[in-house]
Amino acid sequence: MACFNAVLAIVEEGDEVVIPSPYWVSYPEMVRLAGGVPVIVETKESDGWKLTPKQFEEAMSPRTKMIILTHRLTPPARSTVPENCARSATSRSRKTS
């Protein structure tokens, strides 16, 4: 419920929300109900289910409003290094400014 409330509070019509797989089945629908567009990033077992900095950067766009990393026990959230995501986001914002 808290995740859905956060999506409703932040996402507006046409905003993109990055969701790494595997993900909870209702996340894309939450985004759609808020008027957003889910951007699913397929992670691979062979990579340890990690959302790589490259995948993160490729998924981002000027319309990206949110990233759902799900519960800490799901593979993408557990293995995604926040510093890598922050570094990619910072690098991207420098390119667009």
CA distance 90 to 96: 10
Query: Which tens digit of pLDDT belongs to each residue from 53-93?
Result: 889 899 999 999 999 986 555 555 554 555 555 555 555 55
CA distance 15 to 17: 7
As given in the structure block, the two tokens for residue 84 are 């890598």
Mean pLDDT score, 7-17: 97
**70 bridge partner residues:** none
DSSP H helix total and E strand total for the chain:
5, 3
Type of residue numbered 31? V
Grade residue 13 by pLDDT with cuts at 50, 70 and 90: very high
CA distance 91 to 77: 21
CA distance 60 to 64: 6
What pLDDT score does 78 carry?
A: 52
Complete domains list, the chain, with CATH: 13-96 (3.40.640.10)
